Structure formats: structure tokens, C-alpha cells
Amino acid sequence: MLTEQRVRSILNKMMDPILHMTLEETNGIQEVTVKEEKAHVSIKIAIAKTGTAEQMQLQSSIVQALKGAGAESVGLRFTDLSQEELAKYASNDSTSSDHSLLSPTNKTSFVAIASGKGGVGKSTVSVNLAVALARLGKRVGIIDADIYGFSVPDMMGITKRPVVRGEMIIPVERFGVKVISMGFFVEDNAPVIWRGPMLGKMLHNFFNDVEWGDLDYLLLDLPPGTGDVALDIHTMLPACKEIIVTTPHPTAAFVAARAGAMALRTEHEILGVIENMSFFESKLTGEKEYVFGKGGGDKLADELQTELLGQIPLQQPDWNEVDFAPSVYAEDHTIGKIYLDIAEKVTQLIKNK
């Protein structure tokens, strides 16, 4: 007959997958109930970090061990260890080690690229600014935090996927930029149907479980608007700086002001505004056509009391079939040079803060 004492003796030997200590050592066994007539076991386990692949492996091990001991069914709930308990084992906790971008000792500058609405080219700006910073000799990473509308791997022509080394994910590197994206973890461009808390855990994994190495800059391609992911970023990275992307159209600038207002309210410093799709210049005549109007970038910069970092015209990158990256401009391309100029401004602004 399976008893509570027998269940506890089995659980005591199980290892917390993050702390690498037994559940007995971490006081992780919070509740055990055994219904003898139905051979049903109900337990509640506290671990250092929930919502991970390691939790799923631990869950499988516990259920298998208890059923092997005679349980017909197992009800298992996980919760996070209290901060008091975690503090006792901080040196064992890989989530608090120096590799984490969220570590207080980390010197990386975080730059979030935000917009008020979709369709203004925010991801294109994020990718090309990251590449431009790398061309300046900086160590750069980019998190495609637009969880629902991930596009960075496709824009950069990335066909590989990250690999796992030990317990860490190794980001894919292209054009000197280390990249991590939700797009690497879904199949066949499947939709992501998640609620806010799950998105927040995925972002934490991008910061804590990826082997970024030493970075000078980490860019975050935020989803448009001011939803759950943007709020999580503001909470996780209080020292993050932001660049707001808009088009020249007055409505786009008006909506983008909301993203800027959110940054200011959460004490995120705005580095400046980038106006995308500013005009179309004919290769034949050199005449400029202001397809989306004029003045949106200047107006937004004035409203947010910041500067206009640059104006990006409408023009397609030169595609190279051998080294295909549909949204990355070459260094000697007209727009590639504009991004280099913006990257130099960004480095000086951050250096002088």
C-alpha cells in the first residue's frame, strides 16, 4: 500500500533541475495527499523556476516513479520557491549567475525598438540597426520579442536553428549579430496562441537561458503597441533605452506617441525617433515623392522632447542569391550608410548618458 511517508521518501530524492539539489534539501515538497481507496496521489512541488523544459522532465520522472511504486493516478502541481528559500541557494541557481543578461553585474546596453502600430517597418529598422552596430565593431545581439509577429530570422535570411549546449541555448549568428526569436521554436510558421504570463516566461528564458557571451548592445524588437510583452520588458529592464519608429504620416506619428509615453512613464529613456518610409526617390530623375506625407518624425520627436535620429527612404535592398537576406541593406547601399550614421549616433548617445 502506498503511504504518504513512502511518497515523501521517493520525492525527497528527486532533484530540483535548476538548483541541482534534492527536493528534501530545498524544502520543495509542499503538499502530499494519498487517497488509499483509489491509489491516487496529489502533490504540490516548489522548484526554482517553473515553465521550463526541465520542469516537464521532472514531472515525467515523478509520475513514473510514483506509478512504479503503486499509484494508479498522480495529480501534480508546480509552484515557484519563495524568494527566502531561493536566497539560501543563490550560488547554486543558474538563473542568477553572471551569464544572465538580467544580472546586476551585466554591462550590456539594452535598446528596445518600439512603435505604436504595425506596418511601419519596426523590425526592418531593428535588424538593420543591429547589423550596422556590428559593422562598427560592436558585439551585438537581438531578441525578436515580437512573439506573435516574429520576422527577424526571415528578414536576416537565417535558415539554421539554435542548438543546445548543456543547459544553455546557443543563439544563431548572422552578419555578426547573435539572434534569438520565437520563430526558431515553432514549426511551419504556426500561430502562437499564448496568454500574457506564458509570453513573460518565454522572454525570461531568452534572457536567462541563452548563452549570449559578452555583448555591448542587445536590441529588442518589441511588438507594436503597449501590450503584455512591452509591459514585461519595461518591468524586466528598468534601465532599457528606447527608439521609437514611425512613418511620416500624421496618424502613425500620433499612435507612436503612445509607445513613447509608455516609455517615459516607466522611466525608460528615449534615445530618439527614426522616421521610416520617409520618401521615394526615383533612380531615373532623382525626384523625391513623399508617398506617406511629411513631418511625422519631426512632430513625434518634438512631442517626446527627443531628436530625430534619421529618415529612411523607401528602397529595396540589393538581393544576393548566394547570401540571401531579404531585408538587410549592404554597407555601401545608400540606406546601409544611413543606418551606419544612425548607429554612430546611438553609440554616442549611450556613451554620453
User: What are the pLDDT digits (tens) for 34-67?
Assistant: 987 778 999 999 998 887 767 878 888 899 899 8
pLDDT for 94 equals: 44
Query: 244: closest CA among 224, 228, 227?
Result: 224
List the domain boundaries for the chain. Answer: 4-94, 109-352
- pTM beyond 0.75: no
Residue 129 CA to residue 314 CA, distance in Å, equals 16
Superfamily of domain 4-94: Fe-S cluster assembly (FSCA) (3.30.300.130)
In the DSSP assignment, the letter for residue 19 is: T
Average pLDDT of the chain to the nearest whole number? 84
Phi, psi (degrees; rounded to nearest 5) at 175: 55, 30
Spell out, as residue ranges, where the chain has pLDDT lower than 50. Answer: 91-98
Q: What percent of the chain has pLDDT over 90?
A: 37
pLDDT for 125 equals: 96
pLDDT for 261 equals: 72
Q: Sign of torsion, CA 223 149 293 111?
A: positive
Residue 79 CA to residue 112 CA, distance in Å, equals 31
Architecture of 109-352 per CATH? 3-Layer(aba) Sandwich (3.40)
Q: How many CA within 13 A on the CB side of residue 90?
A: 7
